[in-house]
Amino acid sequence: MTARSERARAWPVLLLAGAFEVGYALSVGGSEGFTVLSWSLVAVVFFLLTLYALSVALRTIDVGVGYAVWAGIGAVGAALLGPVFFDETLTPVRAFWLAVIIAGVVWLKLADRPGAPADGT
């Protein structure tokens, strides 16, 4: 497998790891401090899935970039879905800062392209 195809494969795996991270964050919230067995078991499954997918993606993507993207996806996903599953609110100020995180994740992805200038511009 070429370096370019490995990199192309790593990004979808990183996005999948981010989705698993959202599932983990939401299930931890539902577990109420790991006192609800069903939510706790789901949290453990998502935790293992997210760590595995993240480790696969980080074989190719730089750790700093990969971790930032993974954490950003998890934070934004949990913040957007928290009001759907739990008694949480999404204020305009929170939505703005989530948009900033999303922009940063996109910018990191663009800066990781082969042939992208080292300074990210």
pLDDT one-digit tens code per residue, 27-68: 999 999 999 999 999 999 999 999 999 999 999 999 999 999
Mean pLDDT to the nearest integer, 88-97 = 93
Helix, strand, coil distribution of the chain in percent, nearest 5: 75, 0, 25
pLDDT of residue 57: 96
CA distance 44 to 30: 12
pTM above 0.85, yes or no: no
Give me the pLDDT at residue 1, please.
Answer: 64
Binned at pLDDT 50, 70 and 90, residue 108 comes out as confident
